[in-house]
């Protein structure tokens, strides 16, 4: 069941170009019964594994030479996201469990909105001068880093539209840049969680983590290969509804 659940989550994410962590979190809480903070730590660990596998695969499709011209964009977002990741993880470890459930529910609604907007095809780049663009990039990175750390996700569903809106970069390049920003950002959040007692949940559930992470990786790869065969116009509204229903369930779980 654990591998299958991970594969299903990965498949859903892969079909729309994400890792699926936003769908995994409600499963960890609602189906497998982990407490809020434990679920976030587990989700972060598995997200880190999925992103570490996905990044080299992505570089095979979009070579580093195509990403190199955008190193300033990567650095701009990373300047905020690293700080945000540390802050988000710190806040998560200090929140009361009931409060964290509600925060996670609200963030699931945010992710659902971002997913809908990202696939609506209505994103138009903003015309900002370089100074304002740089400030906006740091602030956006800060917010995304906080959200990603609080939920244990990579943050691609927020990073991709941000890169398109702020910098006017093609969505294919934006997807690769998002992964490149996500990996170090997740490492910082992971390092902060490792200082908290909640981190012990990983040692107590090693087999669970390995099975679900393996399923997530397999599902993500399969979903990526099948992406062109499934209509996102049909899939995305369904997934948005799933996220909203999950948000209600997590909120009530508090």
Of residues 121 and 191, the one with the higher pLDDT is 191
3-state SS, residue 205: coil
- Please state the three-class secondary structure of 42-85 as a single string: HHHHHHHHHHHHHHHHHHHHCCHHHHHHHHHHHHHHHHHHHHHH
How many CA atoms are closer than 13 Å to the CA of 187, on its beta-carbon side? 8
pLDDT digits (tens, 9 = 90+) for 72-126: 999 999 999 999 999 999 999 999 999 999 999 999 999 998 888 777 666 677 8
Residue keyed to tokens 């970069």: 169
Residue 229: count other Cβ atoms within 10 Å of its Cβ: 7
Residue 135 confidence (pLDDT): 96
Q: What is the mean pLDDT of residues 230-249?
A: 84
Residue 252 confidence (pLDDT): 87
Range of the domain at 148: 2-253
Residue 32: count other Cβ atoms within 10 Å of its Cβ: 17
Residue keyed to tokens 């790869």: 221
Whether residue 92 contacts residue 150, with contact meaning beta carbons closer than 8 Å, is answered with yes
Structure tokens at 222: 């399969």
* pLDDT winner (highest mean) among 65-69, 153-157, 178-182, 192-196: 192-196
Count of domains in the chain? 1
CA angle, residues 240, 185, 100, in degrees to nearest 5: 55
| pLDDT of 29 over the 70 cut | yes
CA angle, residues 125, 57, 133, in degrees to nearest 5: 20
| pLDDT of 53 over the 90 cut | no
Q: How confident is the prediction for the chain on average, in pLDDT?
A: 88
| Whole-prediction pTM | 0.90
Under the banding of pLDDT at 50, 70 and 90, the label for residue 232 is low
Residue in 79, 190, 71, 89 with CA at minimum distance from that of residue 140: 79
């Amino acid at each position: 069941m654990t591998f299958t659940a991970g594969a299903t989550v990965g498949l859903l994410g892969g079909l729309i170009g994400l890792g699926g962590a936003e769908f995994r979190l409600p499963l960890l809480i609602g189906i497998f019964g982990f407490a809020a903070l434990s679920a976030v730590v587990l989700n972060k660990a598995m997200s880190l594994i999925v992103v570490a596998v996905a990044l080299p695969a992505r570089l095979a499709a979009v070579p580093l030479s195509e990403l190199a011209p955008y190193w300033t964009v990567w650095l701009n977002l990373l300047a905020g996201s690293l700080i945000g990741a540390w802050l988000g993880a710190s806040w998560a470890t200090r929140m009361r469990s009931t409060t964290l459930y509600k925060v996670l529910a609200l963030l699931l609604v945010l992710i659902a909105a971002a997913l809908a907007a990202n696939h609506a095809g209505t994103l138009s780049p903003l015309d900002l001068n370089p100074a304002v663009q740089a400030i906006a990039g740091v602030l956006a990175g800060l917010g995304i880093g906080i959200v990603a750390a609080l939920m244990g996700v990579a943050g691609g569903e927020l990073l991709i539209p941000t890169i398109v809106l702020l910098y006017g970069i093609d969505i294919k390049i934006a997807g690769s840049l998002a992964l490149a920003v996500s990996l170090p950002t997740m490492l910082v959040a992971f390092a902060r969680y490792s200082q908290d007692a909640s981190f012990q949940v990983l040692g107590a559930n090693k087999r669970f983590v390995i099975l679900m992470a393996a399923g997530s990786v397999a599902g993500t790869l399969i979903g990526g290969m099948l992406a062109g065969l499934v209509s996102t116009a049909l899939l995305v509204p369904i997934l948005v509804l799933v996220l909203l229903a999950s948000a209600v369930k997590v909120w009530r779980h508090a």
